[in-house]
C-alpha cells in the first residue's frame, strides 16, 4: 500500500481534529517557550535594576497573545466542521475540507511557535538592555511588535486556508 492510499483512507475528521489540536497545542507551546525565555531574563536583570520589572511585563503579554491566536483559530476551525452522511465521508470534497483544516492548523501552530520564540528572545534582550540603559526600552519594544506580527500573519494565512473547507451536503 502506498502513502497516498493510506492518507486517503484516513477520515477527514481525523485530519481536522489533528489540525485543530496542533493549532492550539503548538501555539501554547510557543507562548510558554517565549514566556520562559523572557521571564528568566527579566527576573535576572531585575536583580540589578528592579525598576524594569513592571514595564517589561509587556513582553510576557506579547508572548501570551501568541497562545490566544492559537485558541482563536482553533475556535474558527471548530466551526468549520459539519456532519457528512457516511456515504460521502470519503468524497473528494470531504477530503479537501479535512486537509484544508489540517493545513490551516499546522500553519497557525508552527507560525505561532516561531513567533513565541521570536518575541521571547527579543523580550529577553529588551529586559537585559533596559537594565543597562533605560533609553533602549522603546526602541527594542518596536522590534518586538514587529516580531509579534509574525503570529498574526500565520493567523491570516490559516483563516484564508480554512475558507477552502466546504463539506458535501448531498446524500
Calculate helix-pair angle for 92-132, 137-162, nearest 10 degrees: 180
Render pLDDT for 23-79 as a digit per residue (tens, 0 to 9). Answer: 999 999 999 999 999 999 999 999 989 998 888 899 999 999 999 999 999 999 999
In the prediction, which pLDDT does 84 show? 87
In the prediction, which pLDDT does 80 show? 92
pLDDT at 170 over 70: no
Render pLDDT for 98-145 as a digit per residue (tens, 0 to 9). Answer: 999 999 999 999 999 999 999 999 999 999 999 999 899 999 999 999
pLDDT at 12 over 70: yes
DSSP code of residue 133:
-
Calculate helix-pair angle for 57-79, 92-132, nearest 10 degrees: 170
The arithmetic mean of pLDDT across residues 10-20, rounded, is: 93
Q: What is the largest CA-CA distance in the chain?
A: 69
Buried b (16+ CB within 10 A) or exposed e, 124-143: bbbbbbbbeeeeebeebbee
Write the CB contacts of 58 (distance below 8 Å, at least 6 apart in sequence).
Answer: 141
Q: Which residue do the cell numbers 521571547 mark?
A: 120
pTM (2 d.p.): 0.90
Amino acid at each position: 500500500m502506498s502513502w497516498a492510499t493510506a492518507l486517503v483512507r484516513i477520515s477527514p475528521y481525523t485530519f481536522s481534529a489533528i489540525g485543530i489540536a496542533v493549532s492550539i497545542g503548538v501555539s501554547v507551546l510557543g507562548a510558554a517557550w517565549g514566556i520562559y525565555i523572557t521571564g528568566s531574563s527579566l527576573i535576572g536583570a531585575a536583580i540589578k535594576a528592579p525598576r524594569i520589572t513592571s514595564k517589561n511585563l509587556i513582553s510576557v503579554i506579547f508572548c501570551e497573545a501568541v497562545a490566544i491566536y492559537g485558541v482563536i483559530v482553533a475556535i474558527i476551525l471548530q466551526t468549520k466542521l459539519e456532519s457528512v452522511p457516511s456515504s460521502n465521508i470519503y468524497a473528494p470534497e470531504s477530503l479537501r475540507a479535512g486537509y484544508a483544516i489540517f493545513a490551516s492548523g499546522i500553519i497557525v501552530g508552527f507560525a505561532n511557535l516561531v513567533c513565541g520564540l521570536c518575541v521571547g528572545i527579543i523580550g529577553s534582550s529588551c529586559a537585559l538592555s533596559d537594565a543597562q540603559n533605560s533609553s533602549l526600552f522603546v526602541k527594542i519594544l518596536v522590534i518586538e511588535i514587529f516580531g509579534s506580527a509574525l503570529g498574526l500573519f500565520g493567523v491570516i494565512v490559516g483563516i484564508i486556508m480554512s475558507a477552502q473547507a466546504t463539506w458535501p451536503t448531498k446524500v
